[in-house]
Chain A
Amino acid sequence: MASLREDDDMNTRKLFLLLALLLLSGGASLAGETRYEMRVDGLVCPYCAYGVEKKLMALQGVMEIDVDLHNGLVVVVTADTVRFTDMQLTKLFNDAGFTFRSFRQIVPNADTGS
């Protein structure tokens, strides 16, 4: 009788441990980030590029941005739920005073492994 109870306790602990692991892995995927690299022409001076930072950081899900003036790139880190389109980025960068050329995702999504 006592050993059956001990077995039940062990199984219960294992079940809780399994549930905790599942929750943690689900939380990690919710906190996943995506990194985009955008090619933008006209990026010349740091002061002028501030408008790019303002426009991008105003978008929901955008977590951080950096401007690589030497290579004409804007690197954007977003939540996994963010999706960009060419039309959206063309307008955004035009409003900032520059010309958008292309973008690509440069860090695999943690969930899909793509």
Chain B
Amino acid sequence: MLDVKSTVRSVASALVVVLFVATAAMAHDPVFGPGPHTLFKNGFELAFNIHSVEAGASSENEFAAELAYGLTGDWTAGIEIPYLSVDQESAGNSGLGDIVLFSKYRFWRRDDFGSQTSAAVIAKVLTESGEDEGSPGLGTGTTDAIIGLTYGYEGRKWYRWSSVRYRVNGKTANGLRHGDKWMLDIAGGWRPTLHGYREPDTVWLLEINGEMVGRSELNGLELVNSGGTQWFVSPGIFWTLRNFAVKAGIQIPIYNDLNGDQSKTDFRAKLTFEWHL
């Protein structure tokens, strides 16, 4: 017999995971939204990401290792392996999360003196590797996919990015399907001081991130306390020295319209250490 209560609990806990989509670190891109930048051909990108989410009585900390490879100068593919620590009210769990496979193809690029404008398509597969035996679960229990389109302008002083992504979720063996999600991002960046190639470089970032989640379904029936819309303003910083980068940012909710009785996100934070090899 289907345990509705435990299913609903799994929806609530998974929302902390599902609503926060790890964006693979990629060179000079925004902290939370994606950008069109790709890795140089035959190059490697090694990154360590720390994500934190607080939503009412739930919290999640994710420590992820990421490896990306430049298949060509315009095509990058990689993998992200997360380790999660999730707390929900009085319960806690930690372990392997959903491994993510990702790829980005920059299909258009225009290079001018002092600027680069480009656009790329993004694809991600979120596997169901997350341990789901404990409570709260560490993954969605399904294989999900994200596709997206991103645009970026990079100048010596100013940056701007925009992107749109769509996440489609699978269905668990119990018949639970998390709502699909649209994600919209716009971002701006400012380099206050122009530095040389072998000098430290700082870019300040400001993003607006929106998420529109459909209602979850249990065996075809919509769950009342699921889905909704959230918008965030996200200041961040990007600091680099030759082939090493540190990215950090915080997402502050500015608008919430969540369906039914759900915990609103208090904040999200991200810290990334990244090397190009």
Could you tell me if B197 and A97 are in contact, using CB atoms closer than 8 angstroms? no
Taking the closest CB of chain B, its distance from the CB of A45, in whole angstroms, is: 5
Could you tell me if A44 and B156 are in contact, using CB atoms closer than 8 angstroms? yes
A50 on interface, CB distance cutoff 8 Å = yes
A47–B39 Cα distance when bound, in Å, is: 11
A82 on interface, CB distance cutoff 8 Å = no
> Using Cβ atoms and an 8 Å threshold, which residues of chain B touch A67?
196-197
Stretch at the interface among B8-16, B107-115, B229-237: B107-115
Chain A residue nearest to B243 in the complex (CB):
A50
Interface string of A70-101 (1 = CB under 8 A from B): 10100000000000000000000011111100
Interface string of A94-114 (1 = CB under 8 A from B): 111111000000000000000
A69 on interface, CB distance cutoff 8 Å = yes
Chain A residue nearest to B157 in the complex (CB):
A44
Interface string of A31-69 (1 = CB under 8 A from B): 000000000111111111111101100000000001111
> Using Cβ atoms and an 8 Å threshold, which residues of chain A touch B243?
47, 50
A39–B243 Cα distance when bound, in Å, is: 22
**Also in contact, A46 and B113, with CB within 8 A (given A96-B40, A97-B40):** no
A70: contacting residue among B37, B40, B109, B194, CB under 8 A: B194
Interface size on A, residues (CB 8 A): 27
B40: contacting residue among A40, A66, A68, A95, CB under 8 A: A95
> Using Cβ atoms and an 8 Å threshold, which residues of chain B touch A94?
73
A35–B127 Cα distance when bound, in Å, is: 51
- Most chain B CB neighbours (cut-off 10 Å) among A46, A72, A96: A46
Chain A residue nearest to B154 in the complex (CB):
A44
Could you tell me if A41 and B112 are in contact, using CB atoms closer than 8 angstroms? yes
A44: contacting residue among B155, B198, B241, CB under 8 A: B155
Could you tell me if B41 and A96 are in contact, using CB atoms closer than 8 angstroms? yes
Q: Give the 5 A-B residue pairs with the shortest CB-CB distance, closest first.
A: A51-B40, A42-B111, A99-B111, A95-B41, A41-B111
Q: List 26 A-B contacts (CB under 8 A).
A: A41-B111, A41-B113, A41-B116, A42-B111, A44-B115, A44-B155, A46-B195, A46-B197, A46-B198, A46-B199, A47-B27, A47-B201, A47-B243, A50-B242, A50-B243, A51-B41, A67-B196, A69-B194, A70-B156, A72-B114, A95-B41, A95-B42, A95-B72, A95-B73, A96-B41, A97-B40
